[in-house]
Amino acid sequence: MYNVRPMQAEEIASVARWMILLPLLQRYHMTEASACRMFEQAMTRGDHLLAADEGDSLARGFAWVMPQGAFGRSAYLRLIGVHPDYGNRGIGSLLLQEAEQLAFDAGRDFFLLVSDFNTGAQDFYRRHGYRQIGAIPGYVLPDVTELIFWKPYPAR
Ligand SMILES: CC(C)(COP(=O)(O)OP(=O)(O)OC[C@H]1O[C@@H](n2cnc3c(N)ncnc32)[C@H](O)[C@@H]1OP(=O)(O)O)[C@@H](O)C(=O)NCCC(=O)NCCS
């Protein structure tokens, strides 16, 4: 029913168009233009950009993994998002599992940051085996603490 695959350069604009509808990204002042730039740069750098399709509906979710984005040593989930009309049907879980697999196949731990106010995403990550191991107050937005979540490489 769902299919996760690499995102293509040609679909960046259409993903950018819906992702800025997510309240989280509005809070971080993301615009269509900045989202496009961000994904284009990620692709150029060779980061992993995953897209999830549901049936014939293309790219209803994405996940962006920087292979050594955490401390130059571990993989980092830079961003994950699901189209506002397609939430709560397993797309985010599937993307997260595929993103993790990229990290674990390379023998790397997986890290991510989640906003203190984003309790829904915190619960989502905890249910997937992540735990909070730190916090960075005012790291991105002055009034928001970024919580550091960690899932170790399973062999350890
Ligand atoms: C966080 C986010 C990626 C989760 O994506 P999602 O597709 O809604 O996630 P899922 O559907 O896999 O899981 C969400 C819930 O749906 C339920 N669910 C999972 N699979 C399901 C299925 N096949 N059918 C119905 N419900 C399902 C789960 O019970 C889950 O509930 P839980 O939260 O109690 O575990 C999404 O809410 C999102 O894009 N949020 C805005 C951006 C954001 O906060 N990103 C994280 C930044 S750090």
pLDDT of residue 1: 81
- Banded pLDDT at 7 (limits 50, 70, 90): very high
Instruction: Decide: residue 143, CB within 10 A, 0-12 exposed, 13-18 middle, 19+ buried.
Output: exposed
Count of structural domains within the chain:
1
**11 falls within a domain:** yes
Q: What is the CATH number of the domain that holds 99?
A: 3.40.630.30
Q: Which atom of ligand 1 is nearest to the CA of 86?
A: 7
The amino acid at 68: Q
pLDDT of residue 155: 62
**154 falls within a domain:** no
**30 falls within a domain:** yes
Let me know: does 95 contact 65? Beta carbons within 8 Å: no
pLDDT in tens, 102-130: 999 999 999 999 999 999 999 999 999 99
pTM: 0.94
Q: Using CA atoms, how far apart are residues 78 and 11, in angstroms rounded to an integer?
A: 19
Quote the ligand 1 centre to 94 CA distance (angstroms): 9
pLDDT in tens, 38-54: 999 999 999 999 999 98
**What average pLDDT does this structure show over 143-154?**
97
* 57 vs 92, residue with greater confidence: 92
**Domain interval for residue 48:** 2-112
Helix, strand, or coil here: 84? helix
Let me know: does 46 contact 111? Beta carbons within 8 Å: no
**52 falls within a domain:** yes
Quote the ligand 1 centre to 82 CA distance (angstroms): 8
CA distance to 26, 32, 52, 101, 104, per residue, from 36 (Å)? 15, 6, 18, 25, 28
Q: Which of 70, 68, 66 minimizes the C-alpha distance to 80?
A: 66
**121 falls within a domain:** no
**22 falls within a domain:** yes
Quote the ligand 1 centre to 59 CA distance (angstroms): 16
The answer for 5, left when phi > 0, alpha when psi is -120 to 50, beta otherwise, is: beta
**What average pLDDT does this structure show over 15-21?**
97
pLDDT of residue 54: 85
**59 falls within a domain:** yes
